Amino acid sequence: MLREQQAEPGAFRPAVVGNWKMNGTRAALRELDEIDRAARSASNVDVVIALPFTLLDAGSRRMTAVQIASQDVHVEPGGAHTGCISAPMASDAGAVFTLVGHSETRARGDTSATVAHKLRAATKAGMTPILCVGADLNGQAPYEAFRRLRDEIAPVAETNGQMWVAYEPESAIGADSAADSDQIATVHARLREHLGPSARLLYGGSVNADNIAQILSLPNVDGVLVGRASMQASTFAPMITFADQSARRA
Ligand code: PGA
């Protein structure tokens, strides 16, 4: 069940989303328990972790305050697609969210059309998709980057409005530092313009405990999507606690 809560009008309720990518065996569930403990005392934050398929069921059974996301879903509900997982299957295993269109899945062949089908499939299965978009102002003419951004968010029309969007400029993923604040603020302003006041807009790409304060202070940034720093409680729990405090301060 989706536990996303409505923030009071005018209040800031950040989202902190982890993405474990192709990492984590059952031994890592202990790490997840610690993260859940931090999330239990952070009632002003939505905490979500995108687990590998193999941990969705066990993870969702153990978590009380962390909500579970799949990292991807197939466009079809079932069938002859060896090695894939459908939205109804991920949902049945306890995932209430799913990432869609992460640049690492786009690099393996997801086109805009595939992403649109995946958003529809996730919505149909009752999941909340987190659409990842990667248009990068770094090394690209702004005109090109904004055209790509418009293309990337077009599939939002496939949802019933219940979706989050994560802006993850490709050059900032797995990098030494996050994108610079100007780029984040500029692109998030565009996203807000296109998607409206109620859209949940996250930033992702080398977010960590040292830069989360700066990132969450930017206009139109409602949360973060965290890769490497989400895999250990020692680095992820402080980010949850910080986001909780920043919600209270807002
Ligand atoms: P990173 O990954 O935080 O390790 O840069 C982010 C992501 O790809 O979701």
* Catalytic site includes residue 188: no
- Burial of 199: CB neighbours in 10 Å, binned 0-12, 13-18, 19+: middle
| Positions of the chain with pLDDT lower than 70, given as ranges | 1-11, 248-250
pTM score above 0.85? yes
Task: Give 91-131 pLDDT, tens digit per residue.
Answer: 999 999 999 999 999 999 999 899 999 999 999 999 999 99
Task: Given the residues 104, 152, 158, 168, select the one marked as catalytic.
Answer: 168
Counting every residue, how long is the chain? 250
Residues 6+ apart with CB under 8 A from 121: 73, 74, 75, 76, 77, 86, 87
Task: Give 53-67 pLDDT, tens digit per residue.
Answer: 999 999 999 999 999
Token reading at 142 = 């702004």
For atom 7 of ligand 1, which residue has the closest CA? 227
**Pocket, ligand 1, Cβ cutoff 6 A:** 19, 168, 173-174, 204-207, 225-228
Name the nearest CA neighbour of 121 among 100, 135, 136.
100
For atom 9 of ligand 1, which residue has the closest CA? 227
Residue 117, pLDDT score: 96
Residue 1, pLDDT score: 45
Residue 179, pLDDT score: 95
In ligand 1, the atom with minimum distance to the C-alpha of 173 is: 5
**Phi then psi for 80, rounded to 5 degrees?**
-85, 75
* Catalytic site includes residue 76: no
**Contact status, residue 126 vs residue 98, Cβ threshold 8 Å:** no
Q: How far apart are CA 20 and CA 228, in angstroms?
A: 7
| Amino acid in the structure at residue 7 | A
Alpha carbon of 152 to those of 34, 71, 133, 170: distances in Å? Answer: 35, 18, 6, 13
**3-class SS of residue 243:** helix
Task: Give 36-46 pLDDT, tens digit per residue.
Answer: 999 999 999 99
Residue 136, pLDDT score: 86
